[in-house]
Structures are given as C-alpha cells and as structure tokens.
Structure 1
Amino acid sequence: MTLNKLKRTAICFSLLAAFSCTDNFEEINTNPEGASTGQLEQDYNNIKSLFKPAFSRIYISDVTWQYQIQQSLQADGWSGYMITPVPFGDFNNYDYALNPGWNGYAWERAYVDIIANLYKIEQRAKGKYDQFYAWSLIIKAVQMQRITDMYGPAVYSKYGADGAVLYDSQKDIYTQMFKDLDFAVTELTKRIAANEASTFKGTDLSSYDGDYTQWVKYANSLRLRMAMRIVKVDPALAKTEAEKAVNNSIGVFKLNADVMKIKSPVDLNVIDVMSHSWVGLFMGADMQSILGGYEDPRIAKYWNTSEIKPGEYASVRNGVTYPSGTTYAKFSQTGPRTKTGEVTWMSTAEVYFLRAEGALRGWNMGGTGKELYEAGIKASFEQNGVEGAAAYAADNTKLPLNYVDPLFPANNTPAVSKVTVAWGVTNEENLEKIITQKWIATYPDGQEAWSEFRRTGYPKLFRIANNKSGGVISTELGVRRLPFAQSEAASNPEGVASGVTALGGADNGATRLWWDVNKANF
C-alpha cells in the first residue's frame, strides 16, 4: 500500500432511503493559492493543517454513511450496543456472512485520511518541531490501535515505501506504539517542565484546546488501554506498560474534566442521524437486558422508550431474521447521550475500570480493585448526569433481564449475563463485573467494546440465531477480526500476503488476533 497507490474511492450507501453522494477525494490540504514554502512554514501552518482530519475521521463524526460502514455495521452490532435491523441480502455482518464492501472501509479511510497526513507531519516536523511530531504520534497510536484491533497485521513501519509494502505483525505494531508514546510523553513533559506555551492552540479541535498536560494524560491513559489489551499474550509487558502509565508524574485520567472528546465539525452526531433521521438504528437486546435488569439510570440517557410499548424500552436482538427495514421502526431509538455533536474518544470511567482490572492482577494501580471499580461507576454516573452511584454499586440482587421480542416470540431468549453489580469474591467474578461496567460506560464506542469482549469474553452477550458464515465463524465465539481490504488485494498483493503470514491463519472473520489468545483470563 504505497503512497502512490492509495485509492481515492467513493462509496454511496443507503439503508432505508436513496442517498446520492459525491466525493472527489482531492488531495487533502492542497494549497490553491500557490504559497511559498516559507509562507506556509510561518506559525507552523505547513504542519498544523495536517492535523485537522484526525479530529473528524478517526471516529468519523462528519459523514453519517461513512461512519455507518466504518463501524456501525460492524463493531456497534457485534458489541451488543445497537442494531440496524435491515435484511441486507447475501452479505450481512449481523449473521456473519461478512460483507467485503463494508469491511475494508475502515482500513481505506484510516490510511487516506489520517496516516497519510501524519506521515507528512513526520517528514516536516521530526527533529525540527518535535512537539508536533510527538502530538502526531499520540494520534497515530489512537488510529493504529483501532486498525490493528480490527484487522491484525497492518502497514506501520513500512508506510511510504516504494513498491510492495509489507505488513507488520500485530505484536510489532503494539511494540512500536508503546515506543511512540514513550517519545511523545517524554517530549511534551519536557516542554511542560519548561513552562512552554502550547503551540497546539487553535489547531487542537478536542476539548483540551492544546493543553500539553492533558495530551500527556491522554497518552498515558491510552498506554494503559493498550497494556491491558495484551495481558493474556504478554503479561509481563502488560504490567510494565500499565504501571508506567499510572505512575507517570502526570498520570492518567482521574477527573471527568480529563475526558477526551471532540466536537463534530458539522455539529451533529452521526449515530443520532442513523437512529432518528434514517429511522434505522435501535437499542441492542444486550443493552436492554443489562441496563434494564440493573435498573441503571443511564439507560434513559442512552435510549428513548419505544412506540411499540409506550413508556417502556424495546430492543432488537442481533442476528435474527429481519422481515423488512421498517419492521422494528417503533422500537427504542437513541437518547440524549447522542443528541450532542460531541464524540468521546476516551472516558475517565474507562481508565478507572482499567486500573481496577490491573489491581485485580496484582499491579500497582494506586488503589484496590474494589475502590477503583466503584470510582469508575461514580465517574460514569457523573459523566452522564445521573445520581445514585453508591447505592447502584452496592446492589447485590438485581440481575440482567431475559430478552423478549414484542413482535416475534421465537426470538425470545434467557439472559446470559448472571452477575450483579456489587463487588464480588473471586477474580473471575470481579473481572466480569469490571468489564460489564466498562461496557456500559464506554457506550457508544462499539469498537472498543467489541475488542474487550473478544479479549475477555465479557460481558456475556446473546448469541446470534442465524449464522450464515458456512461454518467459518463460530456462533459461540463470534467474529474475531475483519478480513483485509479488497483494495489492498488489488494494489498491494504482496503486502496482503505478508499480512496473512503474520496473522498465522486464514484471512477471514474467525482467525484470532495476536492478543486474542484461547486461554483463561487468570
């Protein structure tokens, strides 16, 4: 996948209505005025302009159909969060007959919109304006962790090379991402210590407004997330990296003021558009089972009650037969949480739950597992503007609900999650509670929720009823990864071949990633 082979493709996609779209994919940040290099370098303009796409394209927040293909029709469903109950025909991710036209899109947009720009920043800033290079490495780690956790091996160290570009293994990608974060944290911390005024202001479109300290906290928190992801395949490195993050002089997220979020450039939330304007996205059965069973007050922030059962919630089970695109149109649509144009990249609640798991494993996380677990619940309640966190965290009786389909009783199924909220006794029991609460708090980022489900098996989710993968993907285990992009097979076949070799299995949705090892959590 060389620079000169990057494909500018436009995909016009619709669920329930006819949409027209055009996208000429002109080279990002071209200079129509013909300014000189010296003029562009004034106030770092030749570097700053390259950051802008990252704030809307990592979690696509400006074009609804692009978000839909990148994530909604994949991880958002496989995580149990939300469902688009439409009969898509022969290729439908929900019944595991994976759609290659959808599933390569995240890869293509990542390299065209993000990685290509970060590569230019490296060329222009490294060794000269290292604060910008450090910043770009944090953003690169955000994007590349998402990509490698979707596909496995990917283009990383060889990006920009001529000819065939070979893929790095996922192990090597994680190793390099940790090193990149080392550089970024060291560089920005040095500038903080020198009391340097931020050069990011005006360019930083996140809630941090260019604050170096906040970006270091985010880098440390991201390191903690990455460390936990690899705990079953390399527990020693996971412990080292997690403790490095938490015990850093600046540390990780501790207050909700630390939450990393951006504002959509078009001031909308694409999830809300899909659910309400398109009438095509509804509450997943697992959400109703878990939040409803716990009488969790966050449910009213995440979802609206339904028309099919006024005043009550109604959800859709993943992987059942959807008679038409309007059959479930009166079920629960998204609520106030996705009414704003804000997109959360990482929450303080997630960081507390990561630390709680680390403490469970005997790592130095600055608190006990129970203390950090309950702090995570409290942070999530506060983030969502609801009360009662202490009583909720102490409840040891409420359990997830059985699923009931108001239209088709054949879809009904018993609850699969059997844990209460209150801190338990065994490590495995408490891990299930931690991940279940992290799953609730991480909504609506289905990509992160799907990754944690694959790593731990939690929360326990309803199985699909119609597996059409032809025996390739296990109903019990679910989809483990996305096959490599078709555009790569056409433009970089040697690279794809190297990726399959590094993957160590078939290029399909059943092959486990490097960190997704078939072993117990403890």
Structure 2
Amino acid sequence: MALSIVKKRWAAVALLLLGAGCSDFGDTNENPNAARVPVPFALLTEAITGVPATQAGYTLRGGIAGIQTVGAPEPMLYVQYWSESQYPEDSQYATTFALWDNYYAVSLQDLQTIIDLNTKDETREQMVKFASINNQLAVARILRAYLFWVVTDRWGDVPYFEALKQNTLPAYTSQQEIYTDLLKELRESVDQFDNGRMLDGDILFHGDASRWKKFANSLRMLMALRLSNVEPATARDEFISAYEHPAGHVASNDDNVFVGFLDDDKLRNPVNVLFDGRDDYGVSETLMNTLTNLNDPRIEVFADRNQDEEFVGLPYGLTRSLLIDWTNENDYSRPGIAIRETTTRGYIVTASQVQLAKAEAAVRNWIGDDAADLYYDAIRASWEQHEVFDQDIFEVYTGHADVEFSGTDEEKLSKIGTQRWLALYPNGTEAWFEWRRTGYPDLQPTPYALNESGEIPRRYAYPNVEATLNKINYEAASARISGGDKHHSRVWWDID
C-alpha cells in the first residue's frame, strides 16, 4: 500500500479516535459512529513508522527504521561512522542514559494491541474482516521481536514479559530469557502464516507473506550469531535451523528489508531530519581513512567531497576548542547526499549483512558453504546495493591484502567484521551491537572521553526516571549487571 493512502487512513483513524470521546452528554457517553476498537492496518503502519497519527509534524522516532533504531545518531558516533563538527559531547560519550518511551509507548504498544485484538474473545471475531487472524499475529510477532531485539541490545535486561500489559511497575526480564523467547517467537511466526488475506497497512512488504518469512528467518540467523560467545551450541542450532528453513532468508538485494521514505515532513528519511538547517556531522576520519586506504568505491556514496573536491575525514572525538581550531583551518566531507536525502531507504536487513553472517557461520564450521565465496558475494551485494559495482575494480579490491579472504580463522573473522562495518553504513545501531560482540574493526576511543570509563560505551544506562518510577524493579535489574547500571557495563552476550 502506498504511503499516501496510509496517511489518509491515519487521518481518518485520528478523527475516529478523537470522536470517540466527544459525544453528546448521555448515559453511555458513546458515539455510535466512532470506531469501537482500533483499526489494525493503521496500527501496523504506525508501528512501522513510529509516527503517531494524531501528532502533526512528529518526525520519525522509534519505528522500524527511525532515529532510535536504524537512524540513531549516537551509535553512528560510537562506531565512528561520523564525527561531530560543532558540539562534540556525544562523540566524547557524555550521554550515558537513554529513554525508551518511544519504543514501548508507540511501536511496541501498537504491535501488542494487534496481538491482543486477535487473541481476545471480545475482539477476535471483528478482526477477521481485516485479514487472516494467523497472518495478523505472525506479522505483529515478527516486528515486535525485531524491536525488542533492539531494545534489549541497547540496555540488557528490560521489561519484557510484564511489559505492554498496563502494568506501571513491570519487572525486568533477563536478556538471556528475552533472547530465548525472541527466537521462539520468530520460529513460530514463520510457521503461523496461512493462505488467508494479509493485513493492509504493510509498507514493508505490501502483503507478501513470503518476504515476511525471509525477514523472520534472517533475523533469527543474526540473533543466533549474537549468542556465539555465550551460548555457542544454541547459536549454532538456531542459525542452522533458520538457514535451512524452506521459506528461505534474505539472499539477494531483491529481498532487502527497508522502509521506503517519502518527500514528506513526517515520513522522510530520519537521517535527513538530522540535517534540518544544521551542520553537526562530518564523515569521521576513521571511516574515511578505511575507505581511501582500500580504494573503496562506496566512498562516493558514503561521503560528499569538500569544497576542494577532496574526501577529507573529520577527526573523531576532539574537544570543542580543538574542533574549532581544526575546522577553522580545514574543510571536511559531510555524509553523502545519497545517504541523507529525504527519500533514501531505511535499510533494516540487507543481503550483504546476511551473506557476511553466513560467511562467519562457515568460518565457525556451522554450515558447509565456502566462506570465501560468501564473503566476496557479500561485498558484491553491498556494492550493488549502492550502485557502485564494477567488475575490474572489484577484482583489484578483493586482492588487497586487507580485503583478500586469507589467513587464520581469526584474521578471516576480522576481515568479515570490517566489511560488516562498511556494509551496514549508516546503520550505526546494528554496527555498534556487532562491534561490541566481535571487537571488529579495531576502534579506539577518543582520548577526550567524558564518561567514567574513558572507553567506547557498551550499553545505555537505564532511563533516569526508572530509579524513581519503578524503583524496586530498577534496583533489582541494576544489581544483576556486573559493574552496575553504567555506560561501560556489558550486557549478557557481550563478554571479553
């Protein structure tokens, strides 16, 4: 369904919801013309975009590819995709805690509402007119799993089993239990689809159940790898199960999972929002040096040339005074226009990303495919995604000593990690999670760090309001974290 149609439906839903509370005085205080239950197709679209239909001018927040997921600026700084050009505090790790309201209150709540409407006796029969019950549940469960995956990897233990149930004091579930349930949800949801009608409002796959199944299996493969250091046997079994599932996984750029943004204030690329009349970010020297040293053609997409028609990276993590001195003498490259256009796609899972996961699985002897072939196919998929592929350049590139798939297994994993970092750009959130798991590439913290540890953050501290609004459960969760509720503490799967 086109987003323009969805926007009209949002407006209608907003009027219905507003009208529900504005009837004439009477015994029932009900408007007979108002919707008695939320409309699931509107909830689905709102969950994907993270834009409440009743909030005019509200830019993309949580959503499936909003500024708290794929387009989050702080993780882009943590993994040194970008450097700050004016106010460098986030590059110096000054922000230690983050709020999670927009995850729980908008997208996750919308998805939970779809699930509740399709499982509760009093509303289940009404949902049949919109789509198959099984298909509505399967889609909502997959998206909910993806968002909770982001949430738990940002903070660690979070409200999960007791969340989204109108419970103002939810207990925190351990990350290990969350992962177990997320993998179960993805396994079950793939097999839950039937041949019935798909739900409207699906701006990801437009009602194509086969693509939903590939998305779920790909998520399960990526989640499984996240467990490789803490539960290797479980990680291997889950990866193989998803990899071998007959429904398939994201294997080509035609399968890429993305939100297609519009040239519209509310529905535009969230990265574009960061440049509204501002000039706060440049491509970091770290990323720029890597691209130039490898003669990587993606540099033409990832960065713009400066006024001298050169690619120049912005030094990472300088103090404000040092930054002012440097920028007074130098012009640097901004993130590429192709990355920050209003309609640039928000990629969630790509073929390159999944191919690199398969290459890692092959190095670990989980699957029998040739790791080198998978690795080179991943690089090619990334180049083709960004429309820079050239066979001659590719052959030279893959023969570079820092790219060629050779050496020990650890050296191969290092090269996979560097190519993953490049292929994920500008998805700093996923790159940050994978850097924490693998340590690749070898990123060094700014020497001007403002946080307690002086190191690149390993997680976000819990929202500051939790210590007062949910004190008992917050303290219990914090006590389970080695080192406490700190920026430098590690989540369950992030071990040395």
TM-score range, shorter chain: 0.7 to 0.9
The alpha-carbon distance between structure 1 residues 39 and 506, as it changes in their structure 2 partners (threshold 3 A), is same
Residue 313 of structure 2 contacts residue 333 of structure 2 at CA under 8 Å; is this kept in 1? yes
**Tell me, what secondary structure is at the counterpart of 1:165?**
coil
Deviation of 1:38 (Å): 11
Deviation of 1:393 (Å): 5.6
Amino acid of the residue matched to residue 434 of structure 1? Answer: I
Q: C-alpha separation between the residues in 1 aligned to 2:398 and 2:367?
A: 28
The alpha-carbon distance between structure 1 residues 292 and 57, as it changes in their structure 2 partners (threshold 3 A), is farther
Deviation of 1:218 (Å): 0.3
Residue equivalent to 2:378? 376
Aligned pairs for 1:348-363 (under 5 A) are: 348-363=351-366
Deviation of 1:198 (Å): 3.8
Kindly indicate whether residue 450 of structure 2 is the aligned counterpart of residue 473 of structure 1: no
Residue equivalent to 2:334? 333
Q: C-alpha separation between the residues in 1 aligned to 2:320 and 2:313?
A: 13
Q: C-alpha separation between the residues in 2 aligned to 1:222 and 1:125?
A: 24
Residue equivalent to 2:224? 227
Kindly indicate whether residue 434 of structure 2 is the aligned counterpart of residue 488 of structure 1: no
Deviation of 1:255 (Å): 1.5
**Tell me, what secondary structure is at the counterpart of 2:223?**
helix
- Which of 387, 390, 398 aligns to 2:389? It is 387
Amino acid of the residue matched to residue 378 of structure 2? Answer: G
Q: C-alpha separation between the residues in 2 aligned to 1:356 and 1:137?
A: 28
The alpha-carbon distance between structure 1 residues 72 and 393, as it changes in their structure 2 partners (threshold 3 A), is farther
Q: C-alpha separation between the residues in 1 aligned to 2:324 and 2:32?
A: 53
Deviation of 1:326 (Å): 10
The alpha-carbon distance between structure 1 residues 346 and 30, as it changes in their structure 2 partners (threshold 3 A), is farther
Q: C-alpha separation between the residues in 1 aligned to 2:461 and 2:282?
A: 26
Q: C-alpha separation between the residues in 1 aligned to 2:91 and 2:41?
A: 40
Q: C-alpha separation between the residues in 1 aligned to 2:87 and 2:450?
A: 13
Amino acid of the residue matched to residue 312 of structure 1? Answer: E
Aligned pairs for 1:49-64 (under 5 A) are: 49-57=42-50, 63=59
- Which of 153, 159, 168 aligns to 2:173? It is 168
Deviation of 1:447 (Å): 0.3
Deviation of 1:155 (Å): 0.8
- Which of 300, 308, 311 aligns to 2:309? It is 311
Residue 78 of structure 1 contacts residue 479 of structure 1 at CA under 8 Å; is this kept in 2? yes
**Tell me, what secondary structure is at the counterpart of 1:50?**
helix
Residue 377 of structure 1 contacts residue 389 of structure 1 at CA under 8 Å; is this kept in 2? no
Q: TM-score, normalised by structure 1?
A: 0.79
Amino acid of the residue matched to residue 387 of structure 1? Answer: F
Q: C-alpha separation between the residues in 2 aligned to 1:28 and 1:427?
A: 55
Residue equivalent to 1:516? 494
Deviation of 1:465 (Å): 2.1
Amino acid of the residue matched to residue 295 of structure 2? Answer: E
Residue 135 of structure 2 contacts residue 196 of structure 2 at CA under 8 Å; is this kept in 1? no
Deviation of 1:425 (Å): 2.0
Deviation of 1:381 (Å): 1.1
Residue equivalent to 2:134? 130
Kindly indicate whether residue 491 of structure 2 is the aligned counterpart of residue 506 of structure 1: no
Residue 29 of structure 1 contacts residue 50 of structure 1 at CA under 8 Å; is this kept in 2? no
The alpha-carbon distance between structure 1 residues 82 and 389, as it changes in their structure 2 partners (threshold 3 A), is farther
Residue 454 of structure 1 contacts residue 480 of structure 1 at CA under 8 Å; is this kept in 2? yes
Kindly indicate whether residue 406 of structure 2 is the aligned counterpart of residue 424 of structure 1: yes
Q: C-alpha separation between the residues in 2 aligned to 1:283 and 1:430?
A: 27
Deviation of 1:337 (Å): 3.2
Q: C-alpha separation between the residues in 1 aligned to 2:271 and 2:35?
A: 37
Residue 135 of structure 2 contacts residue 197 of structure 2 at CA under 8 Å; is this kept in 1? no
Residue equivalent to 1:77? 77
The alpha-carbon distance between structure 1 residues 29 and 260, as it changes in their structure 2 partners (threshold 3 A), is farther
Q: C-alpha separation between the residues in 2 aligned to 1:98 and 1:222?
A: 29
Amino acid of the residue matched to residue 501 of structure 1? Answer: A
The alpha-carbon distance between structure 1 residues 131 and 230, as it changes in their structure 2 partners (threshold 3 A), is same
Kindly indicate whether residue 183 of structure 2 is the aligned counterpart of residue 178 of structure 1: yes
Residue equivalent to 1:250? 247
**Tell me, what secondary structure is at the counterpart of 1:431?**
helix
Residue 405 of structure 2 contacts residue 415 of structure 2 at CA under 8 Å; is this kept in 1? yes
**Tell me, what secondary structure is at the counterpart of 1:421?**
coil
Deviation of 1:302 (Å): 1.4
Q: C-alpha separation between the residues in 2 aligned to 1:326 and 1:120?
A: 53
Q: Deviations over 1:230-269 (max 9, x none)?
A: 1000000100111111100011111211000112353532
Q: C-alpha separation between the residues in 2 aligned to 1:393 and 1:459?
A: 23
Amino acid of the residue matched to residue 381 of structure 2? Answer: A
Residue 153 of structure 1 contacts residue 167 of structure 1 at CA under 8 Å; is this kept in 2? yes
Residue equivalent to 1:46? 39
Greater shift in the superposed pair: 77-86 or 269-278: 269-278
Percent identity between the two aligned chains: 25
The alpha-carbon distance between structure 1 residues 109 and 288, as it changes in their structure 2 partners (threshold 3 A), is same
Amino acid of the residue matched to residue 466 of structure 2? Answer: E
Residue 125 of structure 1 contacts residue 132 of structure 1 at CA under 8 Å; is this kept in 2? yes
Deviation of 1:161 (Å): 5.5
**Tell me, what secondary structure is at the counterpart of 1:31?**
helix
**Tell me, what secondary structure is at the counterpart of 2:465?**
helix
Residue equivalent to 1:154? 158
Residue 457 of structure 2 contacts residue 487 of structure 2 at CA under 8 Å; is this kept in 1? yes
**Tell me, what secondary structure is at the counterpart of 1:53?**
helix
Q: C-alpha separation between the residues in 1 aligned to 2:441 and 2:45?
A: 35
**Tell me, what secondary structure is at the counterpart of 1:282?**
strand
**Tell me, what secondary structure is at the counterpart of 2:274?**
helix
Residue equivalent to 2:109? 116
**Tell me, what secondary structure is at the counterpart of 2:140?**
helix
Aligned pairs for 1:68-107 (under 5 A) are: 72-87=72-87, 92-100=89-97, 103-104=98-99, 107=100
Residue 319 of structure 1 contacts residue 465 of structure 1 at CA under 8 Å; is this kept in 2? yes
Deviation of 1:96 (Å): 2.6
Residue 418 of structure 2 contacts residue 441 of structure 2 at CA under 8 Å; is this kept in 1? yes
Residue 398 of structure 2 contacts residue 404 of structure 2 at CA under 8 Å; is this kept in 1? yes
Tell me the matched-pair count. 446
**Tell me, what secondary structure is at the counterpart of 1:277?**
coil
Residue equivalent to 1:12? none
> Unaligned regions of 5+ residues in structure 1, if any?
1-26, 399-418
- Which of 10, 15, 18 aligns to 1:32? It is 18
Aligned pairs for 1:157-306 (under 5 A) are: 157-159=161-163, 160=165, 162=167, 164-188=169-193, 191=194, 196-200=195-199, 202-206=200-204, 208-264=205-261, 266=264, 267-275=267-275, 277-306=277-306
Q: C-alpha separation between the residues in 2 aligned to 1:256 and 1:37?
A: 48
Greater shift in the superposed pair: 350-359 or 128-137: 128-137
Residue equivalent to 1:21? none
Amino acid of the residue matched to residue 428 of structure 2? Answer: G
Q: C-alpha separation between the residues in 1 aligned to 2:242 and 2:398?
A: 32
Aligned pairs for 1:451-462 (under 5 A) are: 451-462=433-444
The alpha-carbon distance between structure 1 residues 38 and 394, as it changes in their structure 2 partners (threshold 3 A), is farther
